Amino acid sequence: MKLLRALSKHPLAITGLVILLGFLVVTMLAPLLTPHDPLQQHLRARLLPPFWLPGGTLEYPLGTDQLGRDLLSRIIQGSRVAVLVAFGATTLVILVGTTVGLLSGFFGGLLDTATMRVVDVIISVPDIILYLTIIALAGPSLTLVIVVIGLVGWTTLARVVRSEVLTLRRREYVEAARALGQAELTSAFRQVLPNVLGTVVAIATLKASSVIIAESTLSYLGFGVQPPTITWGQLLAQGQQYVATAWWLSTFPGLAITLLSLSLIFLGNWLRDLFDPRSNG
């Protein structure tokens, strides 16, 4: 309830939430919403512009591509992968990051040092270069893209969680719980998790938006998820080839990417401001 009230004060966050929910609904209902089969070619209706331009028709509202496939249907279909990648990678980030941060902060010692070294290795190489190296060499696939982005992205989260754990370890109630005989690890989880959850969600949401951009960049460079699976990044990359003659092919997927990314950022910003005790909004 408190959350909702807090939310109501921030129109940007509300907008973000609404857009996000909208995308989720579209993703789940995709097969019902696509006016045409996204893979169906209409060879006599190639490169048609959106319906409000001369030559366009309402049958293909956002126009068609070089094989006559309906752009709107393909964008709707592509939202599935966008959401899957965003959620999949982000979940991985949350799971791995939180676990590693907790264990590392709690147990300290050799585990902590080793983990922090691994973190150093990962963060030293710029994200996209690391993604590209692994994905390009191993061969792109949907699973690999999700896994790689997830396994590269957990570091910030792990550090944040770890520092929370370190702070809390010094506090008395952990001592007290220990004195009462509670298993240490459980007590750590119980104390730390609620404090950390808010930040985790905030960071994860912002991460999700960069994941979507990362996927589209990979596709542009040719190392993303391969056709015939449709992703927005791919649509953007394919549409890029026609950017001067059929601008709609890249503009609308680009807008979709930007919009979903925006919604996640608005939401994430609000969440971060909410949970960060130092920030005044």
Partner 1 sequence: MRTKLITLVATLALLASASAQSTITVAIPSGPPGFDPQNNNQAVASGVYINIFDYLIFKDAQGEFQPALATSWEAVSDTAWRVSLREGVTWHDGEPFTADDVEFTFERVANDPLLVRNSYYSNITDVEVVNDHEVIFHTAEPDPIFLSALSRNGASVIPRHYYESAGVEAASLTPIGTGPYRFVEYRTDDRLVLEAFDNYWGGRPAFDRAVFRIIPENSTAVSELLTGGVDIVTTVNVSEVGRIEASTAADIAVVGGNRTDYLTFNVSEDQVTADPLVRAAVDYAVDDALLAEILTDGAGVPVRARVSPETSFSPLEYYDTYLFDQERARELLAEAGYAPGELTLKLMGATSNADAADLVAAMLADVGVQADIELFEKSVWNSRYWQPGDFTNIAFGASSDSSFDYGNSLIDLTCPDGVHAKRSHWCNQAFTDLVEAANVEFDATIRAGLLKQATDIILEQRPQYYLYSGATFVGVRKGLNFVPRADSLIVLAETTTTP
Partner 2 sequence: MTGYFLRRLLQVIPTLVGITLLVFVTVRLSGDPIASYLGSDAADSAMITAEQEAAIRAHLGLDKPLALQYVLFLRNITLGDFGGSFIYQGRPALDLLIERVPATARLAAAALLVAILISLPGGVIAALNRNKPADTLVNAFSVIGDAMPNFWLGVMLILLFSVKFGWLPVSGTGSWRHLLLPAITLGTSMAALQTRLMRSGLIEVLNQDYVRTARAKGLSTWSVVFKHAMRNAALGYVTLLGLAIPSLLGGSVVVERIFAWPGVGLLFINGLGGRDMALIQAVVVFSAAMVILANLVVDLLYTLIDPRVRYA
Q: Where does this chain bind partner 1 (CB under 8 A)? A: 39, 41, 43, 46, 66-67, 136, 139-140, 222-223, 226-228, 238, 240-245
140 binds, among partner 1, partner 2, none (CB under 5 to 8 A by kind): partner 1
> What is the smallest separation between the CB atom of 113 and partner 1, expressed in angstroms?
37
> What is the smallest separation between the CB atom of 241 and partner 1, expressed in angstroms?
4
If 0-12 CB within 10 Å is exposed, 13-18 middle and 19+ buried, where does residue 88 land? buried
Measured distance CA(151)–CA(96) in Å, rounded: 8
120 binds, among partner 2, partner 1, none (CB under 5 to 8 A by kind): partner 2
> What is the smallest separation between the CB atom of 55 and partner 1, expressed in angstroms?
14
Measured distance CA(277)–CA(56) in Å, rounded: 53
- Judged by CB, which is closer to partner 1: 245, or 279? 245
179 binds, among partner 2, partner 1, none (CB under 5 to 8 A by kind): none
3-state DSSP percent of the chain in helix, strand and coil, to 5 = 75, 0, 25
Instruction: Look at residues 121, 102, 95 and name the one whose alpha carbon lies nearest to residue 162.
Output: 102
Collapsing DSSP to helix, strand or coil, 45 comes out as coil
Note if the bond before 140 is cis, omega within 30 degrees.
no
134 binds partner 2 per the rule CB under 8 A: yes
Instruction: Look at residues 198, 199, 189 and name the one whose alpha carbon lies nearest to residue 168.
Output: 189
> What is the smallest separation between the CB atom of 59 and partner 1, expressed in angstroms?
19
Q: How many other CB atoms are found less than 10 A from the CB of residue 40?
A: 12
Contact pick of 17, 123, 142, 144 for partner 2 (by CB under 8 A): 123
Measured distance CA(272)–CA(110) in Å, rounded: 32
90 binds, among partner 2, partner 1, none (CB under 5 to 8 A by kind): none
> What is the smallest separation between the CB atom of 173 and partner 1, expressed in angstroms?
53
- Judged by CB, which is closer to partner 1: 98, or 219? 219
Dihedral pair phi/psi, residue 43, rounded to 5°: -65, -15
Look up residue 220 and give its amino acid: Y
What the block records as the tokens of 111 is 């585990």
Q: Are 112 and 166 in contact (CB under 8 A)?
A: no
132 binds partner 2 per the rule CB under 8 A: yes
Measured distance CA(63)–CA(36) in Å, rounded: 12
58 binds, among partner 2, partner 1, none (CB under 5 to 8 A by kind): none
240 binds partner 2 per the rule CB under 8 A: yes
51 binds, among partner 2, partner 1, none (CB under 5 to 8 A by kind): none
The binding site for partner 2 (CB under 8 A) comprises 12, 117-118, 120-121, 123-130, 132-134, 136-139, 209-210, 213, 216-217, 220-223, 233, 236, 240, 243-244, 250, 254, 257-259, 261-262, 265-266, 269, 278-281
